[in-house]
Structure 1
Amino acid sequence: MARIILVSGSGGAGKSSVAAATALAASRRGVRTMVLSFGVSRGLSAAFGVEVPLFSGPRGVPVGINDHLSLHEVDVAEELRRGWNSGQGGLAALVAGGLERVSAEEVAVTAEAAHVVTLLRLGEYVREQRHDLIVVDCPSTSEALQFLNTVSAMSWYARKQQAPAQPGRRARLMAASLQGAEASLEVRDRLKAVDELLHNPEVTTVRLVTSADTASVQESQRAYMHFNLHGLAVDCVVINRLGPAQAQQAHVEKLKAAFTDVLVLKVPHQDGEVVGEKPLEAFAEQLYQGEDPVKLGEPQPMLGLRKDAVDVYLLEVRLPFVAKSDIELSRRGEEFVIQVGGARRNVVLPRMVALLPTSGAHMEGDRLIVSFQKERGV
């Protein structure tokens, strides 16, 4: 099973440099590595010094960097065209918004379509078993969370198909897409399999990249909480582009104090651009100090639902930096909703738990613990 490292964080913090350097360092150890990204920025190609045509030439194909490393910047439109199967099949049903006889060229490449296609490509690389490590250069934190929550969001819409129509074009299109997806069990199962890998801390961890400034410190704390809320393991925080300024050092101390339970790595500001293999190797050496970039830190095990006694179940979710007063909880049948600020997670309860009433909720340190218990005398 391939190991997956997701590199995310605040915009402009140097995520692509960290992703490229991590992949290159692993490949130098003989690890068969794929580094991939999606979007139009082509940041990975720039980091490796790979020149790509501005608007023409082959798109969305893997590029060999060395004997153990390949680079793939996923071109969503090309992936759609290649996997369309003459306008039919599971992929067409999933992203064509429920429309019939639509060609790949006619489909608008929405964020939802990009996320689905990238997840399918990631799953294909895992199934091929040609790589020991897959490093994903994710977008900035908010889009990365949408990407990682794609399957959960789709499942939510699927459960609401029988409910009154949701307002808004996006909701209608998503619901229509899911009606098509139900006809394609293979695509649905492939997406579910990838989602399970992403939420397995033994397979997938997040590497959070940030800068040493006030806004980035707070954004990193929020991002860490969001990843934990959605059941994703963070293995380290990378503080990038550090200079000698006293103000930056103060922010570094804040970050170290905030992330006492996570490995914190620091990288000084580079004199020149981190472009090409030699600069990337120097960057990786400063980042990892000769340590194995794959086996890094010990991410805390993800929490979840467990049986505590007869007809008593506990749901535990790690919510760092959160006070009980910041949390809103609600119950809608088989769904238990946890909301912190603008972040929300809908936890689908197993049938045996959904039949039990919610009996209480409290915080123990940074853990939210919710209990479900059969009422006495019932």
Structure 2
Amino acid sequence: MGAEAGTPTRTVLVTGDAAAVPAVAAATALHAARRGLRTLLLAADDPHRQVDDLLGTRLGEGPAPVEDGLWATRIDEQAAFRQAAVALEGRLRTGFDLLGVDPLEPDELTALRGALPLSGGAASAWDLVVAAAPPPAELTAALALPEQLDRYLSRLLPEQRQAARALRPLLAAFAGVPMPADWMYGARAWAAGELAAARRVVESPGTSVRLAVEAGSCAPNALRRAAAGLALFGHRLDAVAVHRALPAAALDSADPWLAGQAKREQERLERIALGVPLLRADQSAEDLPALAAQLYGDTAGPAATQAWPWSAEDRLAEDGVLIWRLAAPGAERADLELVRRGDELVVGLGPYRRILPLPAALRRCTVAGAALRDGELTLRFAPDPDLWPRGR
């Protein structure tokens, strides 16, 4: 049963504890395939080939059939990075020749850790793509990379300048203004197209993140910070999957030590509280079908959630301010950093940092205050009398 024409592929990025991610990703993919979805499992961050061991096969670079409806492949981030860099180098070869620079050899190129290759090229062949992704901090950085590179590209080579290329002879003759050569604009157009393809996957409503945690060692505060970082960049968290929890019966065990461990584990899991389903599998799940059954039962699993809600509210009549609300589940006040820079707002949440363009109305305002409570960042903006339209 494949996806209907025009239906976007669902993508689930499984991140979290290194010991839990491969098993939860593989079980998720197996569960979907057995429910009739054409499913691709990506071992995107699996240096020790744990996914291979779980599936009982050695994965290569191309999709290999595992069972009916399920294919799996391994992403070699080094090879993918070298391929992209070589393609870009081909676009820039003219510039290298002009500058007298020797291009790097493919063997000299090393990928950044966690640089997850993102492309929608073959996505239409699958109903669901499940990726065993890098840890949360690295995944957040990888997902933010297309937006950041697109921003840098726009600053270095704005598209508006391309219209001035026809004036290059006139500018050179009368004003001596240097203009970038055609090869630079060609490289910019190619890079912009590649970034747009990656951003379509990242920002698709069908792309979500699932946190996989080991019950005995999960750190609720760290998970909450990870969720805050994902929300800062607009990524959707659909569930937390708990792996290798103690059986429910352990709470009533006659062994006080075991009962105490079970109680502490339960309290730790309850502290996660991220507003998404908490899926559990206990230590009796010894293989992938048992793990999938405990996590998802007879359901299809968590649905793709809506993007974290960011909204503006006009309270000029009541309070004389405009309100901009940014979702920040799991964020802590001590980790918050806010800097207004022209028409942009720099928001930092612990190790995560994003530059947000302000909505048009807020650009004519000054920041009047901020509050962080109940997983929501509320910013108050007061109209600047010198910029605000008269009579509004």
TM-score (norm 2): 0.73
**Distance apart, 1:353 and its partner CA:** 4.1
Could you tell me whether the CA contact under 8 Å between 1:119 and 1:191 is conserved in 2? Answer: no
Aligned pair in 2 of structure 1 residues 271, 205: CA closer, same or farther (>3 Å)?
closer
For 2:121, give the aligned amino acid: E
For 1:63, give the aligned amino acid: A
What is the SS of the residue equivalent to 1:190?
helix
Could you tell me whether the CA contact under 8 Å between 2:150 and 2:195 is conserved in 1? Answer: no
Q: Match for residue 124 of structure 1?
A: 121
Higher-Rg structure is: 2
Whether 1:198 and 2:202 are equivalent positions in the alignment is yes
**Distance apart, 1:297 and its partner CA:** 5.1
Q: Match for residue 238 of structure 1?
A: 241
Q: Percent identity?
A: 25
For 1:74, give the aligned amino acid: I
User: Which of 282, 294, 304 is 2:310 aligned to?
Assistant: 304
Q: Match for residue 105 of structure 1?
A: 107
Aligned pair in 2 of structure 1 residues 82, 332: CA closer, same or farther (>3 Å)?
closer
Could you tell me whether the CA contact under 8 Å between 1:181 and 1:187 is conserved in 2? Answer: no
Query: What is the CA–CA distance in structure 2 between the aligned matches of 1:82 and 1:30, rounded to whole Å?
Result: 34
Whether 1:34 and 2:57 are equivalent positions in the alignment is no
Whether 1:254 and 2:254 are equivalent positions in the alignment is no
User: Which of 275, 281, 294 is 1:286 aligned to?
Assistant: 294
Query: What is the CA–CA distance in structure 2 between the aligned matches of 1:99 and 1:303, rounded to whole Å?
Result: 47
**Distance apart, 1:335 and its partner CA:** 2.4
Could you tell me whether the CA contact under 8 Å between 1:33 and 1:69 is conserved in 2? Answer: yes
Whether 1:88 and 2:90 are equivalent positions in the alignment is yes
Query: What is the CA–CA distance in structure 2 between the aligned matches of 1:51 and 1:322, rounded to whole Å?
Result: 40
**Distance apart, 1:192 and its partner CA:** 3.0
Query: What is the CA–CA distance in structure 1 between the aligned matches of 2:150 and 2:29, rounded to whole Å?
Result: 32
What is the SS of the residue equivalent to 1:339?
strand
**Distance apart, 1:338 and its partner CA:** 1.6
Query: What is the CA–CA distance in structure 1 between the aligned matches of 2:200 and 2:363, rounded to whole Å?
Result: 21
Q: Match for residue 22 of structure 2?
A: 16
Gaps of 5+ in 2: 1-7, 158-182, 251-257
What is the SS of the residue equivalent to 1:357?
strand
**Distance apart, 1:101 and its partner CA:** 3.5
Query: What is the CA–CA distance in structure 2 between the aligned matches of 1:271 and 1:214, rounded to whole Å?
Result: 18
Aligned length: 335
State the superposition RMSD in angstroms.
3.5
Q: Match for residue 366 of structure 1?
A: 375
**Distance apart, 1:73 and its partner CA:** 0.9
Could you tell me whether the CA contact under 8 Å between 1:212 and 1:249 is conserved in 2? Answer: no
Could you tell me whether the CA contact under 8 Å between 1:90 and 1:184 is conserved in 2? Answer: no
Alignment of 1:49-198 (within 5 A): 49-51=56-58, 59-79=60-80, 84=86, 88-89=90-91, 101-111=103-113, 114-115=115-116, 118-120=117-119, 123-126=120-123, 129-158=124-153, 161=156, 183-198=187-202
